[in-house]
Chain A
Amino acid sequence: MSLNRREFLGAGAAAVAGTAIAPGIRLIELASARSPEDAVSMQQRWGLLIDSSKCAENCSACVSACHEENGVTDEGSPTTDAQWIRKVTVKNPTSGYSHSLPLMCQHCESPPCADVCPTGASFRRADGIVLVDKHICIGCRYCMMACPYKARSFIHETITDQKADAPRGKGTVESCTLCVHKVDRGDGTTACAEACNKEGHSAILFGDLNDANSEIARRLKTEASQQLRADLNLNTGVRYQGF
């Protein structure tokens, strides 16, 4: 006896349902490494977890490593030189307790920089990395004003000797890219996190917030953490601990 149309469709639906056994358990596992021809997807959300209690006050290894990796150079103008990451010292005025932490683009889920950009140059990639498309950036600097973290810089000088992976040019705005070239290469880390581990502090952890098995997701689930300016409801990809 052959199946009629209704029976055939029913059997097909049952087979599809069978691939998802239970929430979080799949017969077909998602591929963790992406090949160069595949587009980024929302399956990942890259982020950082920064434990400021482990961050040494006199250490700026993350800043130097970031600027070395991305070819961010000192143009001799401290007030306008680009800062992709900077060390900030926070102090409790009542107790006097102070400590420092690295601050960079927080890779918001709803980035104010992208909201105000008149050309669409500021955008959030599907995997949560907030970037500037310098091909269409007109240098208006609205995004710099909109960012609550002051994470963006404008390039005033003609730049030479850029890194192959980090194009930079006069008249455009830039900020932390979460080492997007390393992420796309599958390095699984950023220059700042690498440098911090090398210094023995291990205050910066990079990972996929959507992957329940990743260390960052596990720690965010089991330990207390917070977003900077959580009141703005930006759902940042960079989270902090220890203050």
Chain B
Amino acid sequence: MTHTNLFLRIRSWLVMLIATVMLQATAGIVYGDGHGNSRVPMPSTETAKGEKCVEPEDVMKRKHMEFILHQRDKTMHEGIRTKQYSLKNCVNCHADPQTQSVLGKDGFCESCHAYAAVSIDCFSCHTDSPEEQDAAVSGTVFGSIFDSNITK
């Protein structure tokens, strides 16, 4: 009797030990070491422009696709062009100042969609760069003086 009990106890310890080891190994694969060394690169959420988004960050993370879809139909069919949820507004703020794009490895849109394994096709038609006027605004003062000097 006692032999059987001892055997059962040892077996349950072994099962728990193996389960714990396996759980840790799996966690390591999924979450990496928690310092950005995961196998899937962490998305880049750097935004150079503006202090805050049009909605709180947690709302945008979960619902930005709904906002954009709703605005898409309103704009296309009813000509409503409010800025708050427009894709153009997203790109104007979130484009990387270096690459002038929301795409690419570190691009705001592409890096996060790659991380979340989401395939979108907004940018097969829409431009991934901010509006030209916006680029011109930052250099307006110098640009206009320079231009007027040339014409005069």
A residues whose Cβ falls under 8 Å from a Cβ of B: 34, 36-40, 123, 125-127, 131, 133-135, 158-159, 161-164, 167-170, 172, 180-181, 183-185
Residues of B within 8 A of A36 (CB): 80-83
A38 cross-chain contacts in B, Cβ below 8 A? 80
CA A133 to CA B72, docked complex, whole Å:
10
Q: With A162-B126, A180-B79, A185-B81 given, name 5 new contacts (CB 8 A).
A: A123-B77, A127-B79, A164-B126, A164-B130, A170-B124
Residue in B83, B125, B130 whose beta carbon sits within 8 Å of that of A167 in the complex: B125
Complex CA distance for A125 and B77, rounded to whole angstroms? 6
Are B81 and A135 interface neighbours, CB within 8 A?
A: no
Judged by a CB distance under 8 angstroms, whether B78 is at the interface is yes
**Known pairs A36-B83, A164-B132; A169 contacts B78 (CB<8 A):** no
Q: Report which B residues bind A (CB closer than 8 A).
A: 72, 74, 76-83, 88, 91, 124-127, 129-132
* Minimum CB–CB distance for B64 against chain A, Å: 16
Out of B79, B124, B127, B131, name the residue touching A125 (CB < 8 Å): B79
Q: Flag if A172 contacts B125 (CB, 8 Å).
A: yes
| Closest Cβ–Cβ distance, residue A75 to chain B (whole Å) | 15
Compute how far the CA of A185 lies from the CA of B81 in the bound complex, rounded to whole angstroms. Answer: 9
State in angstroms the CA–CA spacing of A202 and B72 once bound together.
35
B82 neighbours in A (Cβ, 8 Å): 36-37
| Cβ of B67 to closest chain A Cβ, rounded Å | 15
Q: Tell me which residues across on chain A come within 8 A of B130, comparing CB atoms.
A: 164
Q: Cα distance A125–B73 when bound, in Å?
A: 12
Residues on B with beta carbons closer than 8 Å to the beta carbon of A168: 125
- Cβ A135 vs Cβ B127 within 8 A: no
Q: Which residues of A contact B80 (CB under 8 A)?
A: 36-39
The one of A126, A131, A164, A181 that contacts B127, using a Cβ cutoff of 8 Å: A164
A51 to B45, CA, bound (A): 54
Question: Smallest CB-CB separation from B134: which chain A residue?
Answer: A164
Cα distance, A194 to B82, chains bound together (Å): 26
The 7 closest A-B pairs by CB, nearest first: A169-B125, A39-B78, A40-B79, A167-B125, A164-B131, A162-B127, A167-B126
Residue contact A161 to B79, C-beta cutoff 8 Å: no
Residue from A39, A163, A169, A170 within 8 A of B79 (CB atoms): A39
Q: Across the two chains, which residue of chain B brings its CB closest to A170?
A: B124
B88 — nearest CB in chain A belongs to which residue? Answer: A164
Closest chain A residue to B121, Cβ basis: A169
Chain A residues near B131: list those with CB within 8 A. Answer: 164
Name the residue of chain B whose CB is nearest to the CB of A181. B81
A126 to B78 alpha-carbon distance, docked (Å): 8
Specify the chain B residue showing the minimal Cβ separation from A34: B79
Measured CA separation A39–B25 after assembly (Å): 56
Q: Does A162 lie within 8 Å of B76, measured CB to CB?
A: no
Judge whether A161 and B78 touch: CB under 8 Å. no
Docked pose: A133 CA to B78 CA in angstroms: 12
CB-CB < 8 A to B83: which residues of A? 36
Tell me the smallest distance from the CB of B85 to a CB of chain A, in Å. Answer: 12
Contact A133 B77 (CB under 8 A): yes
**A-chain residues with CB within 8 Å of residue B88 when the two chains form the complex:** 164
Among A40, A135, A163, A181, contact of B78 (Cβ-Cβ < 8 Å): A40
Docked complex Cα distance between A159 and B127 (Å): 10
Known: A37-B82, A167-B125, A170-B124. A131 touches B132 (CB 8 A): no
A169 touches B81 (CB 8 A): no
CB of A81, distance to nearest CB on chain B (Å): 17
Shortest A144–chain B CB gap in Å is: 18
- Docked Cα-Cα span, A143 to B91, in Å, equals 32
